[in-house]
Amino acid sequence: MNPELNQAIDFDRVLEQIGNYASFSCSIEKILNSYPLKDRMEIQNRLDLAKEAMNLIQKGETVSFSGCIDVSQSVKKTKKKMICTPMELLEIASFLVSVKKCKEYLLKTDTILLKDLAESMDSCNALIQSVQSKIDATGNVKNDATVKLKQLYKTLVDTRLTLNEKARFFIKKNANSLMESMSTTINGRLSVLVKNQDKNRFGGMVHASSQSGLASYVEPECFVALNNEIAQVQGEIEEEIHRICMELSLQVASQDRIILSNLETMTLLDVAFSKAKWAIEREGCIPVIRLSQRNILLERARHPLIDPKKCISNTYSLKQEQKCLMISGPNMGGKTVTLKTIGLFVALAHAGFPVLCDRAWIPYFDSLWFDIGDNQSIENNLSTFSSHISQISNICHHCTSKSFVLLDEVGNGTDPLEGASLAISILEYLIQKGCMVITSTHYSQVKAFGKANDQVLVSSVEFDSATFRPTYKYIQGVSGASYAFAIANNYHLEKEILDRASQVKEQNEQDVQRQLEKLEKLQNDVLIDKERFRKMIEQAHQIQKEAHKEKQKWEQKNKDLQEEYEDRLNSMLEEKEKEASEIIRNLKKGSNIKSHEQSQALHQIHLLQNVETEEKNEDVTLKIGDYVQIENLNSHGEIIDIRKKEALILVNGMKMKVKCNRLKKIKRPNVTVPKKKSSKEPVFSRFPLELNLIGMRVEEGINELDRYLDQAVYHKVKQVRIIHGMGTGALRNAVWKDLDKHPMVVSKMSAGPNEGGLGATIVLLK
């Protein structure tokens, strides 16, 4: 069915639009592969999930799917006895953490279906702890993941320190034979740069030549044993890391069904919230699928693929006794868009998706059939008419009383009289069979048939005859004219042709048709008046809304002014208190103040004390030690100080100044002290293992180097790389001098050719 849906009503393009709201690949794929279902219970379940998600979002709540990724391939690897990489194991743990958070959140909500899905998930806490205890946030196995690995890294550092000490002694002793007084690393082995004439003097191995060709990188014989020991320890480290990954992969394999089940559930949840976000952002709703009733209602329907700013909303409805909706009107007037909108919303509802309506009632259909567009086939030698008839024949043969059939321009593409007669007979057959039919037509005979049949609702799309432009408004109960002559005249067709065409039309037109057109014109005039009154009512409602908003605005402004007044009053009281304190200090200073000045000062203090007493009397019910709740905030705490109209509240370890009129005394809650966990939660941290100083001045670079080394020592990093470049050598020399003075630097050496050569320095720290 999907290819037909995509071609007929752009079903796939709408799914892509909804898929943009999904959080990870599994839910995107599930949305894009959706299709109308036959199982009514499954349809209703999907709609109910989306409805609960919409209700949560509209309350200001939402579920985070951060960390959700498709871990199915990694989990399946473990089932085949394959070993996951540390990064893959970290992704599985991150996914399970996301499952845990999602479950905890949904269990606190008042939903039903979403809570059921949450309860079905198992976050595998033991697996999360195992992975997080051994793998850091960068996706690497931690140095202290096991006791053995920790000891191997310690041995590696100690061996390197011993080797570096031996290298310093060797360089000092044989400086005349060396090109530079530093060591470097070649293929993981510590070496020195020796002049070519002395390269065989020290035994050992010659690894490579310098770029100038004047020297060679030599590993002296005294370095070989320690280099071999380092290589051996590194090999043992790799083996231990491999063992750790294998152990964790086996744990994943033991939980594979649970993890894959969690992935499926998280996919369902993300799909539900994607539907909800799409519907809320575009003002849609969850359709009601009716099993017994056969009426349809799409209130203020809007096509999702049309720009919301340009889209005209329309209401489409069919009563219980009506089986067919017939839409007429001129070409390019919006008939096909109307058909596609109704067909799309029926298909979306049966696939469990929201629709862009204010309200939607849709009957349950066991099959959906579409015949829209030009389906002519060169391969099968089918013309437009032949392809349409072929499709309609298939529909008539397989449809049931619970089928939905959408036909565009039925009977078109052949002789008008024969086409109209065929269209009438097809519609009669489908109506008698009990199908719900949505169709469009240009034929006057077909429109007359619809007018005379109580089971057919004839409607049209409006066309402005003054501007010769479609309005895209749906008019129920009125069949639309084709406006062929008016449109032809607008395109400057010869007048004599148009006059002759009118004569031919009048000769062939029956009296019944003339009376029908007059009736339609009267109905159209009534609808125009009705639409005008509707707009006037909408304008009145809009004015009422604006007046209400203006009232709220002024009420808020008045409230802000009162708060500002209270703030200013409090500030004035504090100033007066300071003045009183200053007066008292002056009185205590000595006898040089005259008696009338003392009396005046005492009178001012008395006035200030009266003001303070009046202010405090307003809040006599609150005192220090009371437990209160802050108005409009979900916060509460203990009063630790009261001054004027403000109280100092201790809330969750933080002090807040709040006006007393915003406080309400409440009962102090019972606080239970949580038990301390025996095991610490793993802390993930990131620290760069190299510092780039290229482009900095010497002073700036040295300051940056000192800060970096302090951080490296704080993070207990044992080895870092300093990138300073070659240049004039000033920055490099300054770096080396600074490293020699630093108390935490054990040794330094030039980097190997693959690590920057003389443009970088490897530093070992205590």
Q: Which residues are annotated as a binding site for ATP?
A: 329-336
End-to-end C-alpha distance for the chain, whole angstroms: 70
Tell me the three state secondary structure of residue 80.
coil
Q: For residue 626, which phi and psi values (nearest 5 degrees)?
A: -70, 145
Q: How far is CA 409 from the centre of its chain?
A: 42
CA 556 to chain centre: 34
> Which amino acids are annotated as binding site, given as ranges?
329-336
Q: Which DSSP helix (H) or strand (E) runs through 49? A: helix 40-58
174, 513, 516, 621, 671 from 444: Cα distances, Å: 109, 8, 10, 84, 81
Helix and strand tally (H, E) in the chain?
21, 23
Name the phi and psi angles at 21, rounded to 5. Answer: -90, -5
- The token duo for 696 is 């900095």
Location of structure tokens 């443009």: 759
Under a CB-based contact definition with an 8 Å cutoff, are residues 46 and 290 in contact?
no
What lies within 8 Å, CB to CB, of 348 at 6+ separation is 11, 14, 287, 354, 355
The one-letter code for the residue type at 606 is H
Residue 481 Rama label (left phi>0; alpha psi -120 to 50; beta): beta
Measure CA 488 to chain center: 51
- Local structure of 765: helix, strand or coil: strand
Give bridge partners of residue 720 from the DSSP assignment: 763
Determine which helix (DSSP H) or strand (DSSP E) holds 229, and give its type and residue range: helix 221-254
**DSSP 3-state of 683:** coil
The answer to whether 84 and 78 are in contact (CB under 8 A) is: yes
Q: How many CB atoms lie within 10 A of CB 367?
A: 17
Structure tokens at 465: 């005859």
**Residues linked to residue 637 through DSSP beta bridges, in sequence order:** 628
- In sequence order, the 6+-apart residues with CB closer than 8 A to the CB of 757 are 184, 750, 751
